[in-house]
Amino acid sequence: MQPISDQTTASGAPASGAATIFLATGARETECRARLRTDVSFSPFTPGALTEALAVGHDPVIIYRRAQPCVAQALEDGTAPSAALAAWCEEAAAILNTRQQARRRVLCVEETLLLSGTEDALERLLRHLPAPGALGEALAPTGPAVPSDDPLHMVLAAQILAISPQAQRLAAELEAASLFAPAPAPTAELLDALYAQSHDRSSLGTLAAERDLLLAHIAQIHTENSEAEARLKETLLQADARDQALTELREEAQKARAAHHDLTAERGVLLDHIRDLQEQTDSRGTRIQNLTDQVTALEADLDSSRQALRDARQQALETARKTAERETAALREQIRTLENRETSHREEVGGLRQARDREAARAKALQSEITAAKKHWGEILSQAEQRELALQEQLTLLRREYDKLIVSRSWKVTQPLRSANSLLSGRKNKDQ
């Protein structure tokens, strides 16, 4: 697209004080300018121009055409379908990327809404534009008459967009990020236009039949009256002219049939591509289902392993607790025995006053022994508690090793062997 306004810089950005309105490919400046009441400068859209406009403090507006009419116009201009689709996708992606840089400052407007929308529908655009005196106060009451697109090219563009997921995604994102007018539904006028074009092609057969009748009529005139030779020659000249016209019509019909054949072949290729994509989708769905089943089986194995670890931990704790209780009971029994011995010694001291000093020393020694025994068994109890903590740490390490094991590649690889071993073990148990 060539520069539309002389108020732009070398990169295409609006000059200082100019309106920051950019036209994407296919957008029509004449119709858009007629919709605005004041003189507004337009610039062709490029990412560099929009970036420069943002850098100088402008709030840009991007006006673009919907995918279907834009691709249809390219087809009408002689562009190949794949090239037209690729060009629109590239520019739509560029618009979305540049808008992402300054979401609140860049406003995208679809051309149809600008040309036919009401001031209420375009209220956000009016607020986005500069104050009156720069870009105008409002819009024109009604939009200008917009030339209609060729119906056949519009239908072909719709088919091209329908088989391109990328184009559909970009169109949806662009619609969500802009002021957008819904695409018009097929009207009776569009269907009548398509029928008229089809009827023009079918009239070629009627012209051929007329030519045959004309040749028969000429032959009859030649045999009826030789005196009308001059008139017959004139009639033959007219017939030759009609033959020439019919030849040209046949050539046009041949070109139309060739174009139709090319479109049919391209449609077949597109349908084959769609079927391939559907088959790939089905195969991926089957693979996802298989992976889901494997994950479910692994989760079941993980739950059983966790239950086994919990049971082992509970059993180890129960064994340690019983051992500690037995050791504590033995210590208490020894303490009671020592206390009984101390009581008996005191009774002997009361009965044997003469050996009081000796028995007192002995009682003191027994007291020291009791203290040492209490200390000894206290150490044993502390060791039992430390042993319980060590068992808990060992159980934690075992649980970590188990978690590493079940996520390791060797565990997943040997899953079929474990399953087969489980099946064999089950069968042996049944046989016994």
pLDDT, tens only, 87-99: 999 999 999 998 8
Which of these ranges, 11-20, 92-101, 335-344, 367-376, has the smallest mean pLDDT?
Answer: 11-20
Question: Nearest-CA neighbor of 90 among 128, 127, 45, 34?
Answer: 45
Who has greater pLDDT, 388 or 14? Answer: 388
Do the beta carbons of residue 49 and residue 11 sit within 8 Å?
yes
pLDDT of residue 93: 92
Between CA 60 and CA 379 the distance in angstroms is: 83
pLDDT, tens only, 146-170: 556 677 788 888 888 888 889 899 9
Who has greater pLDDT, 204 or 92? Answer: 92
Question: In this structure, which amino acid lies at residue 118?
Answer: T
Percentage of the chain with pLDDT > 70? 75
Neighbours of 276 (CB within 10 A): 10
Give 159-184 as a DSSP string.
HHHHT-HHHHHHHHHHHHTEE-PPPP
Average pLDDT, the chain: 76
Do the beta carbons of residue 398 and residue 310 sit within 8 Å?
no
Phi, psi dihedrals of residue 110, rounded to the nearest 5°: -75, 140
pLDDT of residue 87: 92
Q: Which residue's structure tokens are 């002389």?
A: 6
The pLDDT confidence band at residue 299, using thresholds 50, 70 and 90, is confident
pLDDT, tens only, 4-25: 443 444 444 444 444 578 888 8
**What's the mean pLDDT in 347-362?**
73
Question: Nearest-CA neighbor of 25 among 76, 121, 90?
Answer: 90
The radius of gyration computed from the CA coordinates of the chain, to the nearest angstrom, equals 48
The order of strands in the sheet holding 178-179 is 42-44, 21-23, 61-64, 107-110, 178-179
pLDDT of residue 90: 92
**What's the mean pLDDT in 236-251?**
79
pLDDT of residue 185: 59
**What's the mean pLDDT in 334-353?**
78
> In the numeric block, which tokens belong to residue 260?
């139709």
Q: Domain residues of the chain, as ranges?
A: 21-179
**Which range is most confident: 31-40, 66-75, 116-125?**
66-75
> In the numeric block, which tokens belong to residue 172?
């949806």
132 CB burial (10 A radius; 0-12, 13-18, 19+): exposed
262 CB burial (10 A radius; 0-12, 13-18, 19+): exposed
**What's the mean pLDDT in 319-331?**
85
